[in-house]
């Protein structure tokens, strides 16, 4: 009996609280809370432009690569799938760099020392961009690594790969650009 009375009392308190909140209403929104919406580039859209410092100390601007097919690969040293994917990217680069293919590996959020040690160990020869402040990663709305964007010579996103990809998959995406 006491248990029933306790439950009845709790239910009455809960009902009263809901009534009070409903009667008072929620505060009006005055627009002071701004939101930021970032949309990932989709196939057919222009690739967002950026300028990045490379691991070798030089600078690269995406706009300067117009006329070449470009692969942007977002990765991190702690990302196991990224490590499996890198030899595929290196093989693709070795096969097509003379055809104008540019591959830019964009490290998301790590310092130069960690990045260069990892790159040296894997013997990567394509450009490695440092995105310590995550500005490029945010610009491309990357939520996980690896993420790979294929950009045509006109600067338009052709394909986005979320997760690990292969040389064959990338090669089929860049074939038309390399042939021209």
**CATH number, residue 136:** 3.40.30.10
Nearest to 73 by CA among 56, 55, 89: 89
Per the CB < 8 A criterion, the answer to whether 134 and 108 are in contact is yes
Q: In the chain, pLDDT over 70 holds for what percent of residues?
A: 80
Taking the C-alpha atoms of residue 163 and residue 58, their distance in angstroms, rounded to an integer, is 28
| Its pTM surpasses 0.85 | no
Residue 28, in any domain of the structure: no
Structural domain harbouring 122: 51-179
The per-residue pLDDT of the chain, averaged, comes to 88
Which tops the pLDDT comparison, 8 or 33?
Answer: 8
Longest dimension (CA), the chain: 86
Assess if residue 107 is contained within a domain: yes
pLDDT over 80 at 52, yes or no = yes
pLDDT at 41 over 90: no
What domain count does the chain have?
1
Check residue 99 and report its DSSP letter. G
Q: Is residue 173 a part of any domain in this protein?
A: yes
- Range 42-70 average pLDDT: 96
Mean pLDDT over residues 126-154, rounded? 96
Asked if residue 2 is part of any domain, the answer here is no
Give a yes or no: residue 25 inside a domain: no
Domain presence at residue 10: no
Query: Is residue 97 included in any domain, yes or no?
Result: yes
In a domain, 137, yes or no: yes
For residue 5, the model assigns a pLDDT of 75
Q: What is the mean pLDDT of residues 10-32?
A: 61
**Residue-by-residue DSSP string for 136-175:** HHHHTT--SS-EEEEE-TTSBEEEEEES---HHHHHHHHH
More confident site: 130 or 20: 130
């Amino acid at each position: 009996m006491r248990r029933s009375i306790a439950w009845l009392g709790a239910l009455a308190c809960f009902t009263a609280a809901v009534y009070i909140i409903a009667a008072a209403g929620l505060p009006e929104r005055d627009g002071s809370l701004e939101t930021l919406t970032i949309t990932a580039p989709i196939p057919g859209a222009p690739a967002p432009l950026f300028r990045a410092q490379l691991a070798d100390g030089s600078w690269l601007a995406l706009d300067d690569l117009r006329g070449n097919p470009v692969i942007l690969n977002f990765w991190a040293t702690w990302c196991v799938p990224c490590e499996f994917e890198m030899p595929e990217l290196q093989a693709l680069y070795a096969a097509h760099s003379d055809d104008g293919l540019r591959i830019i590996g964009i490290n998301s959020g790590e310092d130069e020392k960690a990045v260069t040690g990892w790159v040296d160990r894997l013997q990567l020869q394509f450009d490695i961009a440092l995105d310590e402040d995550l500005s490029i990663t945010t610009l491309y709305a990357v939520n996980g690594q690896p993420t790979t964007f294929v950009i045509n010579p006109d600067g338009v996103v052709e394909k986005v790969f979320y997760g690990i990809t292969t040389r064959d998959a990338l090669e089929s995406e860049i074939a038309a650009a390399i042939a021209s």
